[in-house]
Amino acid sequence: MKNIIVLIIIFLLIGCSKRQPINHKLLHKAEKMVNINADSALAILTKISSPDELSTKDLAHWCMLSGKVTDKIYTSLPPTYLFEHAYKWYSSHGTIEDQVQMQLYLGRAYAEDGDYDSAMSTYTEALEIASNNHLDNAAGYISSYMGTLYEEKGMREQAIKKFKIAAIYFKNANNNKSYACALRDIGREYARTDSLTQALAILHTADSIAINVNHKNAQASIINTIGGIYRLQQEYEKAKSYYYKAIALGTNKIPNYMGLINIYIETDSLDKAKELLKNIPENNPKYIYGIKRFHSFIYRKEKQYEKALDNLEEYVFLIDSIVNAKNQSRILNIEEKYNDLKKREKINELTINQQKYIIILSICIAGILSIVIANMLYRKQVKDKIQKQQDELSEVRNQLLHLSLDLEKKKIKLSSLKEKNENYNQMKNEITHIISNYKNLQNKMIADSALYKELVHLANQHIPRVNKTLITEKQWGQIIKEITGIYPNLHSYILDLCDTLSEQEWQYCCFCMFGFDTNAEAKLLNINLASVRTKRHRLRQKLGIIIPTRISFQEYIAEQLI
**Model confidence at 402: pLDDT above 70:** no
Among 3-7, 393-397, 483-487, 494-498, the minimum mean pLDDT is found in 3-7
Q: What is the pLDDT of residues 241-256, one digit of tens each?
A: 988 888 888 777 888 8
What is the rounded CA–CA span in Å between residue 542 and residue 171?
Answer: 77
Task: Render the burial of 55-80: b for 16+ CB within 10 Å, e for the rest.
Answer: eeebbbbbbbbbbbbbeeeeeebbbb
List, in order, residues 6 or more apart from 444 with CB less than 8 Å away: 396
Mean pLDDT of the residues in the chain: 82
**Model confidence at 89: pLDDT above 90:** yes
Q: What is the pLDDT of residues 208-244, one digit of tens each?
A: 998 888 788 888 889 999 989 998 889 989 988 988 8
122 pLDDT band, cuts 50/70/90, is very high
440 pLDDT band, cuts 50/70/90, is confident
List, in order, residues 6 or more apart from 155 with CB less than 8 Å away: none
DSSP secondary structure string for all residues of 264-325? HHHTT-HHHHHHHHTTS-TT-HHHHHHHHHHHHHHHHHTT-HHHHHHHHHHHHHHHHHHHHH
Nearest CA among 287, 286, 285 for reference residue 277: 287
**Model confidence at 324: pLDDT above 80:** no
Q: Phi then psi for 155, rounded to 5 degrees?
A: -95, 80
- Angle between the N-to-C axes of helices 473-486 and 422-447, in degrees from 0 to 180, rounded to the nearest 10: 160
Q: What is the pLDDT of residues 452-467, one digit of tens each?
A: 999 999 888 877 766 7
169 pLDDT band, cuts 50/70/90, is very high
How far, rounded to the nearest angstrom, does the alpha carbon of residue 35 sit from its chain's CA centroid? 33
**Model confidence at 389: pLDDT above 60:** no
DSSP secondary structure string for all residues of 374-399? HHHHHHHHHHHHHHHHHHHHHHHHHH
Question: For position 339, what pLDDT does the model report?
Answer: 62
- Decide: helix, strand or coil at residue 71: helix
20 pLDDT band, cuts 50/70/90, is very low
Q: How many CA atoms lie within 13 A of 295 on its CB side?
A: 20
For the four alpha carbons of 488, 492, 495 and 497, in that order, the dihedral sign comes to negative
Question: For position 183, what pLDDT does the model report?
Answer: 93
Question: For position 15, what pLDDT does the model report?
Answer: 44
Query: How wide is the angle at C-alpha 154 spanned by C-alphas 153 and 158, nearest 5°?
Result: 90
**Mean pLDDT along residues 55-77:** 88
Q: Phi then psi for 167, rounded to 5 degrees?
A: -60, -40
175 pLDDT band, cuts 50/70/90, is very high
CB contact at 8 A, 450 and 478: no
**Model confidence at 13: pLDDT above 50:** no
Question: For position 379, what pLDDT does the model report?
Answer: 66
270 pLDDT band, cuts 50/70/90, is confident
Nearest CA among 443, 469, 460, 475 for reference residue 524: 469
Question: For position 328, what pLDDT does the model report?
Answer: 58
Nearest CA among 537, 549, 557 for reference residue 494: 557
Q: Phi then psi for 249, rounded to 5 degrees?
A: -70, -15
What is the rounded CA–CA span in Å between residue 235 and residue 229?
Answer: 9
Burial of 40 (0-12, 13-18, 19+ CB in 10 A): middle
> SS in 3 state form for 105-117?
HHHHHHHHCCCHH
Question: For position 21, what pLDDT does the model report?
Answer: 47
